[in-house]
Amino acid sequence: MSTHKFAFNSTFSLLNVDYVQLNKSWNYKHIISPFYRLYLIDEGHGTLSNTTQNVTLEGHFLYLIPSFTQCSYYCPNDLSQYYLHILEATSDEVSFFVGNRKIFKIPANSDDFRHFKRLITLNPERGLFKSTDPKEYEKRPIIQEFQELNNRVSLSAYVETQGIILQLLSRFIGTEDFCSDSETTLSYKVSETIRYIQQNLQTNLTVAFLAERVHQNADYFSRIFKESTGERPAAYIQLKRVERAQFLIITTDLTFNEIAAETGFESLAYFSRTFKKVTGQTPSVYRKNNRRV
């Protein structure tokens, strides 16, 4: 009998929840957030897109954008939605959606609307009242302020909030879109390697070593890894190291040297080069943009 221990290694911290009516000013490109976004559309239309997806926002559908999933947002006229932002922490540093960095869309039901309304009741004043621009509310001090608000609610409200968040996330677990990249279809050796990579980013990870761990030829292993994930192992490792670095830059006071070491880069210069290649910004510019208030 299989277990699902991996599915419960993550905890989620509420950042924002509210109901908002948007217009054509909601137009932001190439956003990569360190937290999860859930949208429940009430009325109107809009678009979520990235390099491989173009997803229509429409009434009575529920949407999920996992952390570090690049996405552009567009509203041509009017759009009314509930939104929820949550930050993930894991005991083993493996993200809940490690193999599913994509935009999800599922039909909403009455429970989804009830859950969002209950979250707003339990956590009042958690909306984005100053700006809907991600460049403004994704900065580290702002994220920390929202996280600290969780300490001000009662224990019962906090526990109920956690339960509702898990219920909303669970709505996406059984979907075909989720399962297509999950352990149910990924070969065991690839899924095990993904977990190992996430837990050991600070070490010297080579394709030869990873292939030897699962008793496969390096060329064959690299091929099936790409078939399963869309990336060669080396490129996948590089991407996950940069994702971890983004998270550390936003949520800690570590120096760039410390972050480079923590994420497995052999030198600060290589770290800076790779970070800019993936994000389009140097680490110093990324930190400045996310700390400016």
Q: Say yes or no: 196 and 162 in one domain.
A: no
Task: Give me the CATH number covering residue 223.
Answer: 1.10.10.60
**Cβ burial 91-105 (10 Å sphere, 16+ → b, else e):** eebbbbbbbbbbbbb
61 by DSSP, 3-state: which? strand
Last residue of a domain, one of 179, 214, 235: 179
Q: Say yes or no: 226 and 139 in one domain.
A: no
Confidence grade of residue 58 (pLDDT, cut at 50, 70, 90) = very high
Distance separating alpha carbons of residues 178 and 86, to the nearest angstrom: 19
For residue 82, pLDDT over 50 is answered with yes
Which residues, 6+ apart, have CB-to-CB distance to 145 below 8 Å?
none
Q: Say yes or no: 283 and 166 in one domain.
A: no
For residue 281, pLDDT over 70 is answered with yes
Q: Say yes or no: 143 and 57 in one domain.
A: yes
Size (the chain), residues:
293
- Conformation bin of residue 264: beta by default, left when phi > 0, alpha when psi is -120 to 50: left
Number of independent structural domains in the chain: 2
pLDDT, tens digit, for every residue of 8-54?
567 889 999 999 999 999 999 888 788 899 999 999 999 999 878 89
Where in the sequence is the domain holding 172, given as residue range(s)? 5-179
pLDDT, tens digit, for every residue of 172-229?
887 766 654 444 445 667 877 887 888 788 899 999 999 998 888 999 999 988 887 7
Last residue of a domain, one of 121, 152, 179: 179
